[in-house]
Amino acid sequence: MKPLKIYFQLILLSTLFLVACSKENIEELPRLEGKIKSITHETSARTGLKPIGLGVMMQAFYWDVPSGGTWWNTVKGKVQSWSDVGIDAIWLPPASKAQNGAFSMGYDPFDYYDLGEYNQMGSVETRFGSKTELIDLINASHSAQLSVIADIVINHNSGGASEANPITGTNTWTSFTPLSGKFNRTYDDFHPNSNHSSDSGYFGGFPDLCHHQINVQNWLWKDTESVAKYYKDVIGFDGWRFDYVKGFEPWVVKDWITEVGGFSVGEYWDSNVNTLDWWTTQSQASAFDFACYYKMNEAFDGNNLNKLNDDMLWKRNASKAVTFVTNHDTDEIFSGKMLAYAYILTHEGYPTIFYRDYEEWLDKERLNNLIWIHNNLAGGTTNILYTDTDEYIAKRNGYNNAGLVVYINNSNYWQERWIETNWSNTTIKDYTGFSNWEPTTQSGNWVKIQAPPKSYSVWAPK
């Protein structure tokens, strides 16, 4: 969700250069069966879906998508094409009715069971559409073999009525009687209450749910009619993106997963890799790799690729790292964004593509090419071969495939470098199509490769 403080903005117009790069040089690549990586995430419980983590996740929204109840249908029209290029899951915005009704992005939740069917908070539909349209979207996604990840906001609520609160001695906005008739709440379900004064943190002054209260646990994940079980078993969601997990202890996510299963990733907004590693261990969920995100910004926008040597969650535990270049909270255009995508789509972790980058801002064919490379060549462990301020070269060692070598060049001219590969006496090629070289590795595995200015190349056996 949007942080209250102003997040850093990295606004440069050089993205126009990236978009303008020629599509014609990108070779039409074959579709390979058996897309294999060294790291996989949980397989969906629903048959016929791609295992989450073998491909690429699509964040299927951005902040302030068009209102008017059209978004679910907009996304439904894209899921088959996304699946065709190698996406394996889509992440949707919070689907339930929130305080701002038809204008809300969902991060101020009021009625978890109103997915666009009750006339409350000023509208029947949510900003994104009706319950029927949401289910149609999920069904279309499943038909396209895509899993669907729900955005879960359980740190706080909004839209409650004022009530006398004997704990605080004042009136608080903590009386929730939603029209769905489910998960009614009072002051005792929020902090402070008779059981628990506080947890990890409040957000924005909203009433802060107390997950130690049995009523809250039962309605959120434990009971047969809980939010978690309703979303999974009735609506059809396959996994969870937990919003603002700094606001409550990691055992909450762990208990949710234990109860209902499904791929899970938390938004722990922190650049400290030790903290991210701690949270994933305690919650037994994945986390967005904010350590990687900040280092990429320093590397590509700060023009120092040596920053890619620094520690990141994917280097600690790739099976729990969800990497990304930007999202609905950051939503920025910055110099080197395509280079950042070349980085996450050739390295370990589960990469995410932002809707506007794919559909509006960047070169879709170049992103499709990188998705293909990720799904077919980017297997095995990673070794960094060379870095300086302008150049970065790393190899993936292969896992039931040959692996690859990625060469990222942030300078203004072509670069060449000798590197040691895993291939002896083997002809290799650049699978981006930017270089027409097809060199043969020496018997000692050494070969010279090149990369174009402000761009990248990806090498593997021909």
| Residues with catalytic function | 243, 267
155 labelled ligand-binding:
yes
Q: Is 249 exposed, middle or buried (0-12, 13-18, 19+ CB in 10 A)?
A: middle
Instruction: Give the contacts of 409 (CB within 8 A, at least 6 positions apart).
Output: 390, 391, 415, 451, 452, 453, 454, 455, 456, 457
Q: Where are the beta strands (DSSP E) in 107-204?
A: 109-111, 147-152, 161-165, 170-175
Q: How many CB atoms lie under 10 A from the CB of residue 118?
A: 17
Please, what's the b/e burial string for 146-174 (b: 16 or more CB within 10 A of its CB; e: otherwise)? bbbbbbbbbbbbbbbeeeebeeeeeebbb
CA 336 to the chain's CA centroid: 19
Q: Torsion angle of alpha carbons 124, 130, 135, 139, nearest 10°?
A: 180
Helices (H), 324-390: 337-344, 355-356, 364-377
State the amino acid at position 448 in one-letter form.
Answer: K
Q: 142 vs 37, 57, 72, CA distance in Å?
A: 22, 14, 14
Output the CA–CA distances (angstroms, integers) from residue 34 to 45, 72, 84, in the order listed. 19, 30, 14
Residue keyed to tokens 């559909």: 359
Query: CB atoms < 10 A from the CB of 98, how many?
Result: 26
Residue 183 φ/ψ region, left for φ over 0, alpha for ψ in the -120 to 50 degree band, beta for the rest: left
User: What is the DSSP code (8-state) at residue 459?
Assistant: E
Distance CA 388, CA 368 (A): 28
Q: Which residues of 21-41 are buried (b: 16+ CB within 10 A; e: fewer)?
A: beeeebeeeeeeeebbbbbeb
How many Å is the maximal CA-CA distance in the chain?
Answer: 80
Q: By C-alpha distance, which of 70, 60, 19, 114 is closest to 364? A: 19
Q: Give exposure, 385-402, as e/b (b: 16+ Cβ within 10 Å).
A: bebeebbbbbbbebeebb
Q: What CA–CA distance (Å, rounded) separates 340 from 324?
A: 9
Instruction: Name the binding residues for Ca(2+).
Output: 155
